[in-house]
Each structure stands twice: as C-alpha cells, then as structure tokens.
Amino acid sequence: MSQQYAGASTADTEDVVGLILADHREFERLFRLLRNREEDRAALRGQLADLLVAHAEAEEQEVYPALRRKAPEEAEEIEHGSEEHSEGHEALLELLEVADVDDHDTFEDKLEELVEALNHHIDEEERDILNAARENVGDDERAELGRAFLAVRNRLLEGTPGDVDNVGRLVDEAREKGEL
C-alpha cells in the first residue's frame, strides 16, 4: 500500500537541510496527533514509525557520510547523531510493542519517551549537524545530497520500514555495535 508522506516529500526544496527540517516538523505534527485520544493512534503510530526509520536510514546512508568528509570537525557530533538514531529506534520499539493503543497510560508513557528522545536529537542535529552542512557544503552539493536523501527515504517508504520486526532488528544491530 503506497502512502503519501508529508515532510520532505512535500517540501518545496531540494536542499538537504530544508528536507531534513521538513521531516522534523512532520514528526512534531505526528506527535501532536498521537497525543489526541480521538485520533486513529494505531495508523498514526505506523506512519510515524515508517517515516522515522526511513528518515534516519537515509541520513545515515547519504547525509552523514558526506558531512563527515565536508566537516570533519563535526565528526563527533555526527557519530553522536547516529547513536541518537539508535536510541530513538529503541524508544520507538517500546511504543510499537504496546499492543493496545487504548491502554492510554502505557501508550502515552511510551510516546512521551519517544518524543523526549527525538526532540533531543532534533535540537542537537539542527544546531550542530545542519549548521555544519550550511557552512561547509555548497548549494549545488546540498541539492545533490537532498536528492540522494529523498531517493533512499522514499524507496524505504515504499515498504514498511517501521514495522516492529525491522525496528527490533535495528535495535539489535545497535546493541551489537555498542550504541545502546
């Protein structure tokens, strides 16, 4: 089932910084909706999970390696960003494992843990990594990077990258690498 995802998919830019920021705003929008008990939380959780995993994987495959080359002074922050992706996946897995979205206390506790982890990552990424991209990567290269980011992200979104089995696999891999 193909679904239109907002965020970078609907952004009016090819600049990788703008695309990443558009996804960040979409995460925030989905969090607001997920806090509303009147919404279809199961569907929104799946949408958030798919977008979150596709976004992180596209950053790690395309954006972070390019920034390591262009802004080597930010290598530690970029590595930290990857670790925070793993922490986000771990919090996402806990939310996905809540069997009953109508178990409001459990669901909302796990949602807030994910919100906290992701907001922390977004804040640091926007202040450090994306500013390094603005300062060290030219406009044309940021557009090229944006196209590469979108290609990976959108290819992953053709499937269900945020399903519980895949997120569990990502968490297991992060544990094996010592990131968690």
pLDDT in tens, 38-70: 999 999 999 999 999 999 999 999 999 999 999
pTM score: 0.94
Residue-level pLDDT at 4: 63
Cα separation, 16 vs 8, in Å, equals 9
Per-residue burial over 99-119, b = 16 or more CB atoms within 10 Å of its CB, e = otherwise: eebeeeebbbebbeebbebbe
Distance of CA 89 to the CA centre of its chain: 9
Helices (H), the chain: 16-34, 41-58, 64-70, 75-96, 104-124, 130-136, 139-157, 164-176
pLDDT > 60? residue 3: no
Please compute the mean of the pLDDT values over residues 73-91 and round it to a whole number: 94
Residue for token pair 């922490």: 87
